[in-house]
């Protein structure tokens, strides 16, 4: 189904807009549900498709990205698709080399060590030249979905990308990256600004290519305290929402809903509620009622079942979902996990999660 590359014109009519309606705060018959990392290694067909390919080579192959994005939708009645890609394509667009090391994860061959290293980065990025393969994957997938569900595009947020670029990969403390914030605040802002500018163009390009919603991943927010977040993360998160919206307007492109997911940033929920996003994603460490109290009624919430709950027996998953829906309420809410699916999860349990959200939310809405 991912064979023909057509232009971003004349997309098929959308049949299930529940996810978009919930994101915009409109009423829905059932609570929509999708999963972070739903296109992933927990599916045997994903492992088969990816078997011979280098990870980032897969990201650069629009046909494969399309196939991997569609796989979970063939199995589960999810209410949205999210394009198969990676947040580290942005540092690659800035000229950094990232390789996927088996058993270790993404690794930068030459991380940023000194402030002078910023000069090695591309100061002006033509996103179509550097990231056009993502746009092609989005257009192809949007056609291949045949209007089944909306397609979500995404990017990493500046602080999260900066932390990878300095740490050179994952880290439990982010001490190298955080030391920049304390030792080199000006250079840190220069880097964050450069990233934000690329991300803005990248997200606008994704909408032009056919993305119907956008999620910004501030996955490393938990390493910052309230003050560092206020100085080095929040201003860029706000700016991205505002700039993307004004550029979409200028280009007469659809104003798509935007989701901010700042993992472990409980301390910033009030700020995130006013950051210009239609949806605030929550990780599993926060009580739904507390989040709703802090965020208010004008923003849709997304989340937040503990991904490890999917290791539970199916009946238990159903109970946990019911409790989650009762806590969040079924409206102005998009069900999801509090983070991504893990590779060793049983696809049947993912199916049980999705079906439980639909069944329980319909039941609650009726009564």
Q: Point out the residues that are catalytic.
A: 37, 41, 50, 86, 164
Residue recorded with tokens 């919603």 = 213
Helices (H), the chain: 18-23, 44-50, 55-59, 62-75, 89-93, 127-144, 158-167, 175-183, 185-209, 226-232, 234-250, 269-273, 288-295, 314-328, 347-366
Is 34 in a helix, a strand, or coil? Answer: coil
Phi and psi based region of residue 147 (left: phi greater than 0; alpha: psi -120 to 50; beta: remaining): left
The C-alpha atoms of residue 166 and residue 333 are separated, in whole angstroms, by: 36
H helices, E strands: number in the chain:
15, 9
Distance of CA 97 to the CA centre of its chain: 22
| Cβ-contact 186, 153 below 8 angstroms | no
Residue recorded with tokens 């349990």 = 349
Q: 3: which residues sit within 8 A by CB, 6+ positions away?
A: 63
């Amino acid at each position: 189904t991912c064979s023909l590359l057509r232009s971003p014109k004349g997309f098929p009519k959308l049949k299930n807009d529940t996810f978009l309606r919930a994101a915009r705060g409109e009423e829905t018959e059932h609570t929509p549900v999708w999963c972070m990392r739903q296109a992933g290694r927990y599916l045997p067909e994903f492992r088969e498709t990816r078997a011979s390919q280098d990870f980032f080579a897969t990201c650069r192959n629009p046909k494969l990205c399309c196939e991997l994005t569609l796989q979970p939708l063939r199995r589960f009645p999810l209410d949205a698709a999210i394009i198969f890609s990676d947040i580290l394509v942005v540092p690659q667009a800035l000229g950094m080399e990232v390789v996927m090391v088996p058993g270790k994860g993404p690794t930068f061959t030459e991380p940023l060590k000194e402030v002078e290293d910023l000069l090695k980065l591309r100061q002006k990025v033509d996103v179509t030249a550097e990231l056009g393969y993502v746009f092609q994957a989005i257009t192809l997938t949007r056609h291949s979905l045949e209007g089944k569900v909306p397609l979500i595009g995404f990017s990493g947020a500046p602080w999260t990308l900066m932390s990878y670029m300095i740490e050179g990969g994952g880290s439990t403390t982010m001490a190298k990256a955080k030391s920049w914030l304390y030792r080199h605040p000006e250079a840190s802002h220069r880097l964050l600004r450069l990233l934000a500018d690329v991300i803005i163009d990248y997200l606008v390009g994704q909408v032009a290519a056919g993305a119907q919603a956008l999620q910004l991943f501030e996955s490393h927010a938990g390493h910052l305290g309230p003050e560092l977040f206020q100085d080095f993360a929040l201003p860029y998160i706000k700016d991205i929402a505002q700039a993307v919206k004004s550029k979409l307007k200028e280009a007469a492109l659809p104003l798509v809903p935007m989701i901010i997911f700042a993992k472990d940033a409980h301390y910033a929920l009030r700020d995130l509620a006013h950051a210009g996003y239609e949806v605030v994603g929550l990780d599993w460490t926060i009580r739904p009622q507390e989040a709703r109290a802090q965020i208010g009624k004008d923003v849709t919430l997304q989340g937040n079942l503990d991904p490890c709950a999917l290791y539970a027996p199916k009946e238990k998953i159903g109970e946990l979902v019911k409790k989650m829906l009762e806590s969040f309420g079924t409206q102005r809410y998009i069900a999801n996990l509090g983070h991504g699916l893990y590779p060793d999860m049983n696809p049947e349990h993912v199916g049980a999660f999705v079906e439980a959200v639909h069944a329980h939310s319909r039941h609650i809405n009726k009564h």
